[in-house]
Structure 1
Amino acid sequence: MYATAKDGTKLYYETAGEGGTPILFIHEFGGNYDAWEPQMSFFARRHRCITYAARGYAPSDIPADIEMYSQANAADDAIAVLDALDIEKAHIVGLSMGGFAALHFGLRTPERALSLTIAGAGYGTERETADYFRNTSLKVADNFERDPAEFSKIYSLGASRVQFQNKDLRGWAAFAERLSHHSAVGASNTMRGVQCRRPSFWDLEEQLKTMMVPTLVMTGDEDDHCLQPSIYLKKMLPACGLSVLPKAGHTLNLEEPALFNSVVSDFIAQVEQGAWKVRDPRADPGQVMRTE
């Protein structure tokens, strides 16, 4: 099935489950719609689940024009998928690139989000490593453009991917195989148009402070360039909780599927019961201990 984005781009999606509130899953750069299979199988028991291939990822359209790839389009594409299914509101769950899309979904169209789960998001947002990230991303784009199948062997062994390989060689091999099938055009344009150009979290401070959508931020404790950005989101977003998974890297939903599903399931349950609230003003981060 296909949804149509604002600019006419066709977006492939799949659904599972019929009852309960909808959950929309948005994949990372290194994945695709089928990388959410452990979550689709688990959450479809109680929810209507949707996963889709981002633009640039087959079987969705793969625009040749880099200007058709942006952070804004990534967020708006999620809306297009919901619109195609006549879904007014959904829980939005995103990993990495998808986590950024989930955050911007909440900033741009908060009225369409029941909640946000922002997992493994932060690369390129730290000011001290911003130039390094941008230059590295451009090199990654060049490498994917030349030979996705060959470069996937390198990309899949990044510093925050080896945790997955060490725990689950079979699961990691499936991830690496999926990565090898990325489109040269789609991967390079996504890296240049979305990853390299997205704004830092620190540039969004005023917007973050007023975004009241219930939010869960998740990160692995060995996903180093997501740790500080995740803590920053926790401090800025009024209705935000932070979950740090121990001895975990970047590919959280596949590396630790049971733990990921448990944490997200509990979060969604609290949201739906009205129990996930904004931070109590008495929990003053500037206070060490109360003296009077």
Structure 2
Amino acid sequence: MALANSNGVKLYVESTGSGTPIVFVHEFAGDHRNWENQVRFFSRRFRCITYNARGYPPSEVPESIEDYGQSHSVEDIANVMRHCGVKNAHIVGLSMGGYATVNFGIAHPDMARSLVIAGAGHGSDPEKREQFLLDSAELAERLVTLGMQEGIVHYANSAIRRRYKEKDPRGFEEFNRQFAEHSALGSSLTTRGYQMRRSTIYELETKLKGMSVPSMIVTGDDDEPCLAPALFMKRTIPDARLWVVPRTTHPVNLEEPDVFNRVVLDFVTEIDQKAMG
């Protein structure tokens, strides 16, 4: 089992294929397994690197809230790359991983060939911010008091995942089965230490305006909390494209894997061709 050391925390890493590296960064409810459709597709031509975030076994689960947060998630990407001997890569992140991806582009532009920022922005709406924080605190408490199996029921069946359940009930069931296998402590601390304390997308405006990395912003048109932030990022990041996926909710890569793979392939191929001159 490959473990990368990220500032004292060991992270589980998988590397598949060869070629230009792509690093996939998972969402709060997911882990490295959620990228299986992408790894099978891209590893024919690229080196695909997936990993589990801190707090997600078989990665280590730190017990202090101070070991969780946006800065840690950014440096975890960098340290996974260093562990794999990779100087720069295309970074593809969903939701929590999308937040980490955009912040990685700000902090380490030299290590990012491009960014795919999918489903990022939940909790950014100023009018709904207070409710987001209340809901997140309740989730964190439920996870440690009820355990994963019972604690995730409401979250896993929320409106931002309804299309996935409609389109692919078997995949939706597998997703939630894997979600329930996560660490209750790790997930609770991730919620409190990362989700609730990160800057909103709008608070990153100045940094986004100065970011030079080519970016693809992705959102499902039924992922209501992420629509406005996606448009904001498109208008703010200098070299950005926006792809809105019709009749799709939050986990875009799981709901529409074929079209997701093709659009991302076209994007990273374009970036690589430009880099080659």
Indicate whether the TM-score tops 0.5.
Answer: yes
1:194 alignment partner AA = Y
Matches of 2:156 and 2:165, distance apart in 1: 9
Root-mean-square deviation (Å): 0.9
Question: Larger C-alpha radius of gyration, 1 or 2?
Answer: 1
In the other structure, the counterpart of 1:122 is 121
Matches of 1:127 and 1:163, distance apart in 2: 26
Displacement of 1:84 after TM fit?
0.4
1:2 aligns with 2:3: yes
SS in 1 for 2:274: coil
Deviation digits for residues 155-207 of structure 1 (CA, Å, limit 9, x no counterpart): 21110111100000000000010111111110000000000000011111111
In the other structure, the counterpart of 1:143 is 142
1:233 aligns with 2:233: yes
Unpaired runs of 5+ residues, structure 2, are none
Displacement of 1:103 after TM fit?
0.4
Matches of 1:119 and 1:204, distance apart in 2: 16
Length, aligned pairs only: 273
In the other structure, the counterpart of 1:40 is 39
Displacement of 1:152 after TM fit?
2.5
Displacement of 1:259 after TM fit?
1.1
Displacement of 1:151 after TM fit?
2.2
Displacement of 1:132 after TM fit?
1.0
Mapping 1:206-217, distance limit 5 Å: 206-217=206-217
Deviation digits for residues 245-268 of structure 1 (CA, Å, limit 9, x no counterpart): 000000111111001111111110
Superposition misfits of 4+ residues, deviation over 4 angstroms:
none
Matches of 2:185 and 2:129, distance apart in 1: 24
In the other structure, the counterpart of 2:86 is 87
In the other structure, the counterpart of 1:280 is none
TM-score by length of 2: 0.97
In the other structure, the counterpart of 2:198 is 198
Matches of 1:250 and 1:151, distance apart in 2: 20
Taking only the aligned residue pairs, the percentage that are identical comes to: 44
1:225 alignment partner AA = P
TM-score by length of 1: 0.92
Mapping 1:60-99, distance limit 5 Å: 60-99=59-98
In the other structure, the counterpart of 1:278 is none
Matches of 1:97 and 1:65, distance apart in 2: 19
Deviation digits for residues 36-87 of structure 1 (CA, Å, limit 9, x no counterpart): 0000100000000000000000000000101100001001100010000110
Matches of 1:201 and 1:77, distance apart in 2: 20
In the other structure, the counterpart of 1:28 is 27
Matches of 1:152 and 1:126, distance apart in 2: 23
SS in 1 for 2:159: coil
Deviation digits for residues 124-179 of structure 1 (CA, Å, limit 9, x no counterpart): 11211111111111111111112111122322111011110000000000001011
SS in 2 for 1:98: helix
Mapping 1:47-66, distance limit 5 Å: 47-66=46-65
2:46 alignment partner AA = H
Matches of 1:205 and 1:163, distance apart in 2: 31
In the other structure, the counterpart of 1:153 is 153
Matches of 2:200 and 2:155, distance apart in 1: 23
Matches of 1:154 and 1:178, distance apart in 2: 16
In the other structure, the counterpart of 2:109 is 110
